Structure formats: structure tokens, C-alpha cells
A and B are shown apart, each in its own frame.
Chain A
Amino acid sequence: MSVNIHIEHLVKKFQDVEALKDISFDVEKGSLFGIIGPDGAGKTTLFRILTSLILADEGKVMVDGIDVVKDYKKLRQIIGYMPGRFSLYMDLTVEENLNFYARIFHTSLSENYDLIKDIYEQIEPFKNRRAGDLSGGMKQKLALSCALIHKPKLLVLDEPTTGVDAVSRKEFWELLKKMQQRGITILVSTPYMDEAALCDRVSLMQTGNLLSVNTPQQIVNNFLGNLLAVKTNNMYTLLSDLERFDGADRVYRFGESIHLVSQRPIDEVKQSLRDFLSIKAYQKIEIENKQPVIEDCFLALMEKTGTL
């Protein structure tokens, strides 16, 4: 029952801004595909074209062989779309919202209860509360239930976890995994790079370009160079000093430490770095080897395209 997506040479311009610059990629049947990118990367535009809400200037999108422009009516039967902005009725209760969406898809809550059971159980205690009074995480779960109520074959989620607390984000992704196991193809966008590791395949999107579509593992494997995490007693001036260090390709803040990428042999870099920092009178110098995570890879990719 799941579907694939085929996107070919998609271009979209808004006046003089190029929101999408020649984008092509494929999403396999039943996979959880993530698009990671900062605000303004073009994620929402891409999703709106895919859900037939706006028209592309060039290129084409096929969902399970359905052309999203010509056969938009057919497409709208099989997709569940959750827009980036909360799009339920704030003045209706949880239950009324669900029933409304069930009715416009000519189905009912009980008919598809098994599919949304896991999610609905979490929001059921609040079923008589108005949607506007729910917390951010609850709102998103309700929106997900509404997007799922008609058993879509493809679920398109535009930044579902933005503005949601860490615990709810985790729960939300667990729900997505469950939906995937039921055979629904899922396309999700997020500005949080740590969520990329939870997808089957991810792609990084930036200013209308799609950078490297791959599995999270493969993206990490493709990381070039050695990664070091540096900590000292004085973190304030460390970043600007490290930028002047010869062996550094890239230096950036990462959590509590500063990450440094170098193409030179690891031991040699470590030694010269320690000397360099000592001369600058830093104390408590800690230099560690690090396995790159997906964020490191994305930062590298973004820098390579010269846009960061």
C-alpha cells in the first residue's frame, strides 16, 4: 500500500527569489525520508508543491505514478499533510477537530481507530479541551492524528517538531516510526539536525539546493578529515584563536566544546594544537578525538557550498 515519490528538476521562483533551484530526488516506498535545513531553505515550498498546493515553475513530481499537477484530486485522496503552521481549529475541541477531518475524508474515528490508537491514547484525556488550549506537543500529536485519520499512503510533515519540547519530540519520532512500520511512506522536514539520524535517508537542504541525499550512516562515513573536540579554561576567546591555527580546516562551536576539523594526520595535529594553545596561555587544555555525527557532516557540506 505504500507509495514512492519521484521528483525531477523542480524549479520555483517567487518574484526574484529562487526558492527551489533544480531539485531532483527519489523517496523509496515505505521509507522515512528526512529533509534537514534551516529556515528559508525551501522546505515548505517543496512540500507545498508535492501536496499540489502550489505549482512549480519547472519540473515534475510523481507520487506513486500520480502527477501532482494533473491528478491533484487523486493525490489529495492518498496523502496526509501536516502544514508547518498549526492548522487545526483552535476553537473546536480535540474530538471535534478529529471528527471534522474524519468526515471530510468520508470516514470516521472508529473506522480507523487502530491506526491512530497509539497517538490518540496520548491525547484522549484532553478530548474535550479546545485545541487552542493544548500544549505544543499535544497540538502536534492532534495534528498528526488528523493527518492520519483517513489512512494516507503518504504522510508529509512540515517541521512537526519545531517549537516542541525535547521529550515530546522524542515521543513524536517514536510515533512516526510506528506509522512507518504500518507501511506509510513518510516525508518529514526539520530544522533539528539531531533528528536526521532517525530517518532512513536524509538530505540537507539549503537556499533552494538539495545537498547529498543519503542514509545517515553513509553521510557520516563520507566525512573527510579528522575531528577534534577542544576545551580549555577560557572558552570565550578560544574560537577566534583556533581560527588562526594553521592546521584547522574548519572550527565551530559544538555543544560545550569547539570542534576542529583537519586533514593532517591526527597525532601531529593534536601535538601542534596543544603547543599552540600553551603559547597563548590557555590552561586545562582538553583535546579529544571525536567520531563525527551527522551535524558535523552537514556543517561540512554547508561550508563546502560556501553559504555558511
Chain B
Amino acid sequence: MWAFIKKEFLHIFRDPRTMVILFGLPLAQVLLFGFAITNDINNAHIAILDHSKDVVTREITRKLLSSHYFLLNRYLKSDADIKPAFRKGEVKEVLVFERDFARKLQKEGVAKVQILLDATEPNTANILDAYTRGIINTYVLQRMKQSAAIPISIGVQNKMLYNPQLKSVYMFVPGVITVLLMLVSAMMTSISITREKELGTMEALLASPVKPGHIIIGKVVPYVVLSFINLISILLLSVFVFGMPIQGSIGLLLAESLLFLTMALALGILISTVSKTQQQAMLLSMFALMLPTILLSGFIFPVENMPVVLQYLSDIMPSRWFIIILKNIMLKGVGITYFWKETLIIFSMALLFIGLSIKKFSVRLEE
């Protein structure tokens, strides 16, 4: 069996392409997701059309711009400038203050400000809207307190738990870990087993007294080791580059990852037993594993927002449960009692896949 493991390592280290997939891809993905693909809004360009230009509007503008969310693109001169500004794509938001803003506020207690948003990116528009409203409301409340104009007020205090700055890295890292463990484990094992079939080396192996179990273990062990190295480098990256916390126990995190890995590897072996060529194995892993892992697991799109049918489909995605576990450990820092159900689901999936692949692994050549 050691001979097998050693041989498999040699295969991996001698094939530059495999090395790239194994090590280059994970790191690239983490960096990509961490830096580029982010929902956080920083420095959104806005324009301001101020018909009033008084103390209050200037104060509000100053407050808006002093948050790091907004960056003043320019002041507009008239209503006619608004459309072109949006069309050119220079700004995401235009703020319009009505005439005599301060005076109306003072006299009538009501002044109007209009927020125009570029909704070609609905999420961004929503977030910008909320931020702008928030800042304006804060200003109004402060002002009223100063003048003691209102007899009663309800102070809403919100606190974002587990991810106070709403960093999307916190959301992506568990997802990326899941996708990568799935990719490396399932795809690489399925490819490496089908490669033996395709190159005809399986024929020689089967004619020898080596046990099928040994073939499988020999194939799996190197990928477990490499995936673990990968996992640790992703964790290090996310902690030291993105400041991602690991609140819970690292031991538990690694143990759960090992369980998930086992499940993914068993799935990979299962794929290899049904595919005849490396290409087939790769396509199967891509479509059956990668895409659902990314799209249906709640990694990018919240499961609760999906149509019911897709929600059911998402239930059978092992990655969905693993992401929950990861978030629980890393962000909430809770113990196994809070996610034993998810663990159990992955455990039974692992058992199912191992059972199936042992049953399907043929001691003879398929015809």
C-alpha cells in the first residue's frame, strides 16, 4: 500500500498541471474572492445637486463624504445634468436637495431630499440607499436632540453579531474552503483513477493480487494529505491577509474538514467508477459537483431566497451543510452541540458514498 501512495505522490509531483490545480488554484481563488469579488461598498462615486446650498445641506454632504462609503464625483448644476451623469456611468448615486432646504426644515419641519440610484446593480443600489438614509437620519436625530424639538423618541440600536463590519470575506472564506476541498478531493481522485483505466495501467493492476481496497486507499491518501495542506494554507491566508477570525476550536474545524474530505473523496471514487475517460470524470465532477457547490450551497446565493425546488436540491448538497458548520465554528465559535445535525448529514452521506463506491468498484475490466 505504501508503494501505491508513493507512486501516487510521484505522479502528482511530476505533472505540472496537477500541481497547478492542487496548489495554484486554491490560493488564486482565495485571493480572488477575498479582494475582487466583494459585496462591500467602498468609495461609491456620487454626485450632488444642491439647489439650496445652505448650512444644513453642506453639513449633510460633509457627513456623507466623511464616511468611507461615498466619494464625491462632482457637484451638478441643474436637473439636466443628472441623466448624462448616470448614462456615462460616472456616478452610482445622485443626491438632490430642494430649494430653501434649511429654511423649510426650520419653519415647516419638513424638507425634501431625493436619492437617485443606478439600479443596473440592484444590490449596490439597495445598499447605497440604506447607507444614505442612515446617515441623513442620524443627522436629523442629532439636530432634533440639540433643539429638543421632539418629546419622545425611539432609539433603535442595531449591532451586527459575528461579523460587525459586514465583511464579505467572512462569508466567502467558508465557501471557498468548501469548494476547494470538493474540487481537489473529488475531481482529482476521480481523474487519477480514470487515468489508470484510460492508459491501460488498470488492466495490469487488476491482474495482480493487489486488493481493490488498497488501490483506493493508495489513491485517496495523497489527496487527503494535499487537501489538508491546502486547507491549512487557506486558513492561514484568511486569518493573516483578510483578518478572518477563527472563534471556535481549530481541532474541531480540522476534524469536520476531515469528515467532509472523506465524503468528497468517496464521491470522487464513485464518479471514477462510472466514467471511462478522464474527460468524462472531469465533466462529471464539474457539473455534478462544482457548479452545485458554488451555486446551490448558499455560498453565494442565500438558500432561503431560492425557489422551493432548488431549496430541496440544495438540501442534498453536502457542501451546504459543511458551509453552515464552518461558519458556526469560525464566526460564532460554537461547539459540536450546535451543529451535530449537519455533521450527521455529512457523515451519513460519506457512508453512503463509500458503500456505493465499494459496491461499484469492479475487480474486473468493464466492457
Q: Which residues from chain A sit less than 8 Å from chain B, CB to CB?
A: 14, 48, 51-55, 72-73, 76-77, 79, 81-83, 85-92, 96, 99-101, 103-105, 146-147, 150
Flag if A54 contacts B3 (CB, 8 Å).
no
Contact between B14 and A91, CB atoms less than 8 A apart: yes
Residue of B nearest to A50 (CB): B207
Complex: chain B residue closest to A19, CB-CB? B367
- Please indicate the chain A residues that have their CB under 8 angstroms from the CB of B365 in the complex: 48, 53-54
Chain B residues with CB under 8 Å of A101's CB are 208
CA distance A77 to B207 in the complex (A): 9
B210 touches A104 (CB 8 A): yes
A161 to chain B, nearest CB (A): 17
The smallest beta-carbon distance between B103 and chain A, in angstroms, is: 82
Listed stretches B30-38, B195-203, B267-275, B287-295; interface member: B195-203
Binding site for A on B (CB under 8 A): 2-4, 6-7, 10-11, 14-15, 199-201, 203-210, 214, 363-365, 367
Residue among B4, B199, B201, B209 making CB contact with A76, cutoff 8 Å: B209
Instruction: Closest A residue to B206 by CB, please name it.
Output: A53
A83 touches B203 (CB 8 A): yes
- Interface pair A55/B15, CB less than 8 Å apart: no
Task: List, in ascending order, chain A residues with CB within 8 A of B208's CB.
Answer: 76, 101, 104-105, 150
The 6 A-B residue pairs with the shortest CB-CB distance, nearest first, are A103-B3, A81-B207, A85-B200, A87-B204, A87-B200, A104-B210
What are 25 A-B pairs at a CB distance below 8 A? A48-B365, A51-B207, A52-B207, A52-B364, A53-B207, A53-B364, A53-B365, A81-B207, A85-B200, A86-B200, A87-B200, A88-B201, A88-B204, A89-B201, A100-B3, A100-B6, A100-B7, A103-B2, A103-B3, A104-B209, A104-B214, A105-B208, A105-B210, A146-B204, A150-B208
Please indicate the chain A residues that have their CB under 8 angstroms from the CB of B7 in the complex: 89, 92, 96, 100
Looking at chain B's contact residues, the main secondary structure is helix
Q: Which residues of A contact B205 (CB under 8 A)?
A: 104
Chain A residue, CB-CB nearest to B218: A104
What is the CB-to-nearest-CB distance from A144 to chain B, in angstroms, rounded to a whole number? 12
Contact of A14 among B15, B203, B367 (CB under 8 A): B367
- Bound complex: CA A149 to CA B319 (Å): 45
- The CA-CA distance from A92 to B203 in the complex, in Å, is 17
In the complex, which residues of chain A have a beta carbon less than 8 angstroms from the beta carbon of B209?
A: 73, 76-77, 104-105
Q: Which of B201, B204, B210 contacts A81 (CB 8 A)?
A: B204
Q: By CB atoms of chain B within 10 A, which of A77, A103, A105 has the most?
A: A103
Which A residue sits closest to B211, measured CB to CB? A73
**How long is the Cα–Cα vector from A30 to B40 in the complex, in angstroms?**
78
A99/B3 contact (C-beta < 8 A), A73-B209, A104-B208, A104-B210 known:
yes
For B210, the chain A residues whose CB sits under 8 A away are 104-105
Is the pair B364, A87 in contact by a Cβ cutoff of 8 Å? no
Taking CB atoms, residues of chain A closer than 8 Å to B4 are: 100, 104
Residue in A72, A77, A90 whose beta carbon sits within 8 Å of that of B199 in the complex: A90
Given A73-B209, A76-B209, A104-B4; A53-B203 close (CB under 8 Å): yes
Given A100-B3, A104-B214, A105-B209, 19 other A-B residues pairs in contact with their CB atoms under 8 A:
A14-B367, A48-B203, A48-B365, A53-B206, A53-B364, A55-B364, A72-B363, A76-B206, A77-B209, A81-B204, A83-B207, A85-B199, A89-B7, A91-B14, A91-B15, A96-B10, A104-B209, A105-B208, A105-B210
Q: How far is the CA of A31 from the CA of B4 in the complex (A)?
A: 34
List chain A residues, Cβ under 8 A from B363.
72
- Would you give the shortest CB distance from B12 to chain A, in whole angstroms? 10
CA distance A81 to B207 in the complex (A): 7
Whether A83 contacts B200 in the complex (CB less than 8 A), given A73-B209, A104-B3, comes out as yes
Chain B contacts for A99, CB-based, 8 A: 3
Quote the shortest CB–CB distance from A137 to chain B (angstroms): 19
Q: Output the least CB separation between B10 and chain A (Å).
A: 6
Task: Decide if B3 touches A83 in the complex (CB within 8 Å).
Answer: no
Is A54 touching B199 in the complex (CB atoms < 8 A)?
no
Chain A residue at smallest Cβ distance from B4: A104
